């Protein structure tokens, strides 16, 4: 059985999610294209690196991420660090001939994201795979929505409504982690979560060509959190802790035009009390509609115009063995999958791409299309005008 040696850079929240994927995909997708071996981990915090050895089963931790890039034994690298580090690490890894799965967004700057896309294009000529971790398009219900759209089951798409609403930063005492610092994150809600629904919208309805936006910050300063893993609002600091300015957005809303002629709207906020991972998509076509909510990720609501008048309406399809990845995850209807299985599906798609030598869905070229929309949204907010996606 072929083995692929894995290096992990950044062992926080997403580092854990990638390890869940590497560890579990052979259990689901057996027989697999290759078995991953967790070789080396690096985290800028050496304690987290050492802990990752004991906790995740890596053979060793190292004191410099370049050790992983330069190790001829390493085949694939997961980059799970804050956004400002992605470009340097990903480009170095690709140049060293490593296959890369990089967390989203691609970078904290448009220019760096472009450099990453160019490096991936160059590396692809040598069969090197570069993938960005937009996992939500791999939710079985979203894959089913794509199938219905491709089959023409809802006709021509007229409009798309997409939202990503979270609550974890609604409390003003939720700490000022790296996610609230433009120099590290690049953008707030726009880069962090709107990017996911931009990717899903483009996956289902094609390229976005124009946008007009508003981008707002509601909480202008937060208690300082020194370094470390983003606590994502789960630990509240007391109100008298020293505060520092927030220089990224809390909320963004934008109208979009698609190349197909379809229209749409996208909204994202991390300050929506009561909304947790509320990723919703509603798509209306000339022959039907599709609705999805990640908080009920094993369901897809569909309505078909051809149904008789007295029974036309939304019906809920529960995804399971009859649907994408259902035969390998839990093959009894209603068992359901969650975030861990979703990251496992993503890691399997990455490893399959590496072994087969075919760029996967959400390669760096596709991910760069998301960055182009983000760039146009930011420009539109500055100019208060429609902006082309260039």
Confirm if 24 and 6 have CB atoms less than 8 A apart: no
Q: Which of residues 182-211 bind ligand NAD (CB under 6 A)?
A: 192
Query: Is 26 a binder of ligand NAD (CB under 6 A)?
Result: no
Query: Is 83 a binder of ligand NAD (CB under 6 A)?
Result: yes
Q: What minimum distance in Å lies between the beta carbon of 357 and ligand NAD?
A: 24
**Buried (b) or exposed (e) across 177-210, using 16+ Cβ within 10 A?**
bbbbbbebbbbbbbbbbbbbbbbbbbbbbbebbb
Largest CA distance in the chain: 67
Confirm if 158 and 208 have CB atoms less than 8 A apart: no
Query: Is 249 a binder of ligand NAD (CB under 6 A)?
Result: no
Among 10, 36, 223, 233, binds ligand NAD (CB under 6 A): 10
In degrees, rounded to 5, the angle at the alpha carbon of residue 105 between the alpha carbons of residues 103 and 110 is 135
Among 85, 280, 380, 387, binds ligand NAD (CB under 6 A): 85
DSSP letter for each residue of 253-294:
EEEEEETTS-EEEEEEES--TT-SSEEEEEEEETTEEEEEEG
Query: Is 230 a binder of ligand NAD (CB under 6 A)?
Result: yes
Query: Is 65 a binder of ligand NAD (CB under 6 A)?
Result: yes
Query: Is 82 a binder of ligand NAD (CB under 6 A)?
Result: yes
Kindly tell me the number of DSSP H helices and DSSP E strands found in the chain.
Answer: 11, 17
Among 24, 61, 78, 81, binds ligand NAD (CB under 6 A): 81
Q: Which stretch binds ligand NAD (CB under 6 A): 9-17, 157-165, 265-273, 293-301?
A: 9-17
Q: Which stretch binds ligand NAD (CB under 6 A): 10-18, 147-155, 240-248, 328-336?
A: 10-18
Nearby residues of 261 by Cβ (< 8 Å), 6 or more positions away: none
The strand pairing partners of 300, in sequence order, are 317
Q: Which stretch binds ligand NAD (CB under 6 A): 23-31, 74-82, 268-276, 288-296?
A: 74-82
Q: What minimum distance in Å lies between the beta carbon of 110 and ligand NAD?
A: 16
**Buried (b) or exposed (e) across 89-98, using 16+ Cβ within 10 A?**
bbbbbbebeb
Residue with tokens 């804050």: 82
By C-beta, is 12 or 285 nearer to ligand NAD? 12
Query: Is 44 a binder of ligand NAD (CB under 6 A)?
Result: yes
Q: What minimum distance in Å lies between the beta carbon of 145 and ligand NAD?
A: 19
Residues of the shown chain interacting with ligand NAD in the complex, contacts defined by CB under 6 A: 9-14, 42-45, 48, 65, 80-83, 85, 103-104, 133, 135, 192, 229-230
């Amino acid at each position: 059985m072929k083995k692929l040696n894995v290096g992990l850079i950044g062992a926080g929240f997403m580092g854990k999610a990638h390890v869940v994927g590497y560890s579990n995909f052979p259990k689901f997708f057996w027989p697999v294209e290759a078995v991953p071996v967790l070789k080396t981990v690096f985290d800028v915090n050496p304690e987290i690196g050492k802990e990752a050895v004991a906790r995740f089963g890596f053979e060793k931790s190292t004191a410099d991420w370049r050790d992983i890039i330069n190790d001829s034994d390493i085949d694939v690298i997961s980059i799970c660090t804050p956004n400002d580090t992605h470009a340097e690490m990903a480009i170095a890894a690709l140049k060293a001939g490593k296959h890369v799965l990089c967390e989203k967004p691609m970078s904290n700057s448009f220019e760096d994201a472009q450099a990453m896309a160019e490096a991936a294009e160059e590396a692809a000529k040598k069969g090197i795979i570069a993938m960005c971790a937009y996992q939500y398009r791999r939710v079985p219900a979203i894959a089913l929505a794509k199938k219905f759209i491709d089959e023409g089951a809802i006709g021509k798409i007229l409009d798309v409504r997409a939202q990503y609403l979270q609550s974890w930063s609604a409390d003003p005492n939720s700490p000022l982690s790296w996610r609230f610092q433009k120099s590290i994150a690049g953008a707030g809600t726009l880069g962090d979560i709107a990017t996911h629904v931009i990717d899903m919208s483009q996956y289902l309805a094609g390229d976005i060509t124009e946008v007009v936006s508003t981008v707002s910050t509601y909480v202008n300063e937060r208690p300082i959190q020194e370094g470390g893993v983003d606590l994502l609002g789960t630990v509240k600091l007391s109100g008298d802790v020293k505060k520092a300015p927030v220089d990224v957005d809390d909320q963004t809303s934008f109208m979009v035009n698609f190349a197909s002629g379809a229209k749409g709207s996208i909204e994202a906020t991390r300050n929506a009390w009561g909304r947790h991972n509320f990723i919703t998509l509603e798509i209306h076509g000339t022959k039907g509609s599709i609705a999805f909510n990640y908080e009920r990720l094993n369901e897809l609501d569909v309505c078909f115009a051809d149904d008789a008048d007295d029974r036309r309406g939304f019906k809920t399809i529960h995804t399971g063995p009859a649907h994408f990845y259902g035969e390998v995850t839990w093959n009894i209807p209603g068992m359901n999958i969650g975030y861990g299985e979703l990251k496992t599906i993503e890691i399997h798609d990455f490893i399959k791409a590496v072994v087969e030598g075919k760029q996967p869905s959400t390669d760096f070229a596709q991910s760069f299309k998301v960055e182009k929309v983000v760039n146009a949204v930011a420009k539109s907010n500055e100019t208060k005008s429609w902006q082309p996606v260039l």
